[in-house]
Amino acid sequence: MATEDKNRATAAAILPLVGGAANVESIAHCMTRLRLGLHDRSLVDDEALKAVPAVMGVVEDDTYQIVLGPGTVARVTPEFEQLVEEGRASSETPAPVHTAEELADKGAALKARQKAKNSTPFKLFLRRIANIFVPLIPALIGCGIIAGLNGLLVNLGWLTSVTPALASMASGFMALIAVFVGYNTAKEFGGTPILGGAVAAIIVFPGVANIDAFGQTLAPGQGGVLGALGAAVLAVYVEKWCRRWVPEALDVLVTPTLTVLISGLVTIFGLMYVAGEVSSAIGTFADWLLSTGGAGAGFLLGGFFLPLVMLGLHQALIPIHTTLIEQQGFTVLLPILAMAGAGQVGAAAAVYLRLPRNESIRRTIRSAMPAGLLGVGEPLIYGVSLPLGRPFITACVGGAFGGGFVGLFNQLGDSVGSTAIGPSGWALFPLLDGNHGLGSTIAIYAGGLLVGYVAGFVATYFFGFSKSLLAEFNVSQEPAPSTVAATGPAAASGDSQAKEPAGV
């Protein structure tokens, strides 16, 4: 089957299982997931969706998220959008609507639970921050890989006439990333995107080197993405204030002018300096943390990353990663956090051996393991370790040991970093960079993955199953982990659905 036909077939299989075209309110996608806004959640057939060959899992958050994996989701989404448009055009009848009583019974409890857990002001703020930076990830990845290729060619002394061009390709986006952050920030906070980009562009304009603020001469790029974010948010509030008070006849002239003028002055004579100090402090703290307590810090970061993901708090790390990439050329945190996925892989291998009679779970592990090795952890997390309960904890232990291994080498002076955010597992190898050459950087990262695999396997094999859990699951029947989670340890919290999987 041609690739286009395969992607369309996947989209066609998904559409009726989410209630049809009329039930789809919005469509978007991230690195691995198709994110759908749905009118009526009760029309979704979760189990049938999970049975679609291309679907790795489903996650319910503020949107209904179907995990398709990197690459696949970018190809299936346009086909899905086209099918939805065709369905809407050919149907004059609205989506089936249940009675108010049915909707109340099926949806009220779910909505209340999700609202209470996912709509706190802090988490909504973090989600907005993620919405600003996630669209930038493809460019970060592409430019990061080109930067790595260019560095390799420079070190080998090959293609000397080409390497300057590659350096320009790799650095061009990072030189202007503040503009894109400003644009996305204004869009996310309800302002005019181009005005946010215009104000953020001040930060990277070479002419700011002629300006003194707080007794210091400003430097182009000072404040980086944090300054751009703050400048664009300020621009949004100034613009909204102008919209309320400026007469309509003058709005088109006065509002953009005042927005750029007021926000620009505050950015130049305030935000650039303050954000620059904060950015420097982040870089200094990251260096200090890993140089003085590298093994311990790595152990904690690798071990607690997946719980942070489940709580949605990992989104706070995105601007920190981006700031470190701006300052140092790579983020030293991502390779450590990637060890959490290694722990999941090791834990899944142990589950496979500990449940020789449960062909259903073993089949899930076989199909999900390649994706897990490449850093796409959702299928293993939501299909295996999290529903079983204890294996999720022992997988985190594996991630802790892997993170401690990488952190130890940082403490010894061998920094291991990534030139972009997004990929993990084996997919991170092309993006690796460090301070002691590519060979040692790759070796340390590979060693961390190996430690994570082994530690996750050992912890899960010997401590991941109680006698009752082993007796319940090591049977010849084929129970799906997600259907038995209500009686397993993962149900102790009363919610077997986690908020966010790892790799977005």
Q: Which residue numbers are catalytic?
A: 30
Rounded Cα–Cα distance for residues 240 and 266 (Å)? 17
Distances, alpha carbon 135 to alpha carbons 65, 113, 128, 391, in Å:
17, 28, 12, 33
Residues forming beta bridges with residue 433, ordered by sequence position: 417
Handedness of CA 475, 477, 480, 483 (dihedral sign): negative
Rounded Cα–Cα distance for residues 269 and 218 (Å)? 9
Rounded Cα–Cα distance for residues 475 and 304 (Å)? 32
Residues forming beta bridges with residue 212, ordered by sequence position: 217
Amino acid at site 304: F
Are the beta carbons of 401 and 368 closer than 8 angstroms?
Answer: no
DSSP 299-335: HHHHHHHHHHHHHTGGGGGHHHHHHHHHHHSSBSHHH
DSSP 355-394: -TT-HHHHHHHHHHHHHHHTT--HHHIIIIIHHHSHHHHH
Are the beta carbons of 376 and 279 closer than 8 angstroms?
Answer: no
Residues forming beta bridges with residue 36, ordered by sequence position: 27, 64
Residues forming beta bridges with residue 26, ordered by sequence position: 37
Q: CA angle, 378 as apex, 79 and 226 as ends, to 5°?
A: 85
Residues in the chain: 504
Q: How many H-runs (helices) and E-runs (strands) does the chain carry?
A: 23, 8
Roughly how many angstroms between the first and final C-alpha of the chain, as a whole number? 29
Residue 422, CA atoms < 13 Å, CB-side half-sphere: 24
Select from 318, 309, 348, 327 the least CA-distant residue to 456: 348
Are the beta carbons of 392 and 492 closer than 8 angstroms?
Answer: no
Which residue in the block uniquely carries the two structure tokens 């050459």? 437
- Show the DSSP H helices in 119-247 as ranges: 121-133, 137-156, 163-175, 177-188, 193-204, 224-245
